[in-house]
Structure 1
Amino acid sequence: MWSIEVAGECAATPAQVYSILAEPQRWSEWNPGVLRIEMHGSFQSGTTAVMVLPDSTTLPFRFAWVEADRGFEDVTELPDAGAVVRVRHELSPTERGTRITYRCEIDGPEQVTEELGAAITSDFADVISALGARAELLGE
């Protein structure tokens, strides 16, 4: 299994950050790696969705865990690559506001997981920063 964890902090509360995450249809407003999200239900565990990337690639996924003000985890199966990608987006209160942690785990052949992992997580720091900045606007 391949894994990495990337974290950042913002001055917004976990509830403010979560309110941004809880609207997947609007992720493209702050995450340039997402063209759109097509939801097949509400933002809760078990719901499936499709992420459409800027190059029109589609990635079906499901929400495996969703907890208000704490975060969520999504799971994407990539059968052609023989891999399963799990990304956990976790919110923790801090003295300053919120620690936002993205943890990516990929199960599959080692050569595939390393390449996928690098591609999937290359923008995590920027995405976390943009998410935090957007949530901070809610607090103003």
Structure 2
Amino acid sequence: MWEYEHAVETSAAAGEVWRWWADVTSWSTWNAGVVDAVIDGDFAAGTAFTMTGPDGDAIRMTLAEVAPGERFVDVMDGGDFTVRTEHRLEPLDGGRTRVVYRTEISGPAAGHVGPELGPAITADFPDVLDALVRRAEKG
């Protein structure tokens, strides 16, 4: 298995961060790595969505878990490997929030695919989280 985690703290309330996460069609307004995002239904476990990056590649994923206001997990099935990303909100003292992205690549090909694909997927996590919390802090 390959794994990576990045977190930031923000003065934004967890509910404000959640609002931007749950509005999939708005992701391109704060995430430079997303040109378009389309969801096939409600922001709920089992719903599929497609994210298109600046290179034009569309990636199909499924919301595997959704705990409103707390966390969601998306999964991309690569056949002999699976990319699972958890997006988590942790309350901190003083009304602050810790925002966490954690990616795991597992499956039979993870030992080969993970070290190559993992860093490519997660390289922008610091920038994405910074942009997300800046957007959430604005309200």
Match of 2:68 in 1: 68
How many Å separate the matches in 2 of 1:24 and 1:71?
14
Match of 2:92 in 1: 94
For residues 14-33 of structure 1, what are the structure 2 equivalents within 5 Å?
Answer: 14-33=14-33
- 1:106 aligned counterpart, secondary structure: strand
Match of 2:122 in 1: 121
How many Å separate the matches in 2 of 1:95 and 1:130?
22
How many Å separate the matches in 1 of 2:36 and 2:44?
18
TM-score for both structures, normalised by structure 1: 0.93
Equivalent position amino acid for 1:123 in 2? D
Query: 1:43-100, CA deviations, whole angstroms, 9 ceiling, x for partnerless residues?
Result: 1111001111111101110001111110210000123xx3210000000111241100
Provide the identity percentage: 40
Equivalent position amino acid for 1:122 in 2? A
TM-score for both structures, normalised by structure 2: 0.94
Equivalent position amino acid for 2:82 in 1? V
Equivalent position amino acid for 2:23 in 1? E
Give RMSD over aligned pairs: 1.0
Equivalent position amino acid for 2:120 in 1? A
How many Å separate the matches in 2 of 1:86 and 1:12?
26
Aligned pairs, how many? 136
- 1:54 aligned counterpart, secondary structure: coil
Match of 2:105 in 1: 106
How many Å separate the matches in 2 of 1:77 and 1:34?
19
Structure 1: runs of 5+ lacking an equivalent = none
Equivalent position amino acid for 1:105 in 2? E
- 2:118 aligned counterpart, secondary structure: helix
CA displacement at 1:111 relative to structure 2: 2.0
How many Å separate the matches in 2 of 1:39 and 1:68?
16
Which consecutive segments of 4 or more residues in structure 1 shift more than 3 A? none
Match of 1:11 in 2: 11
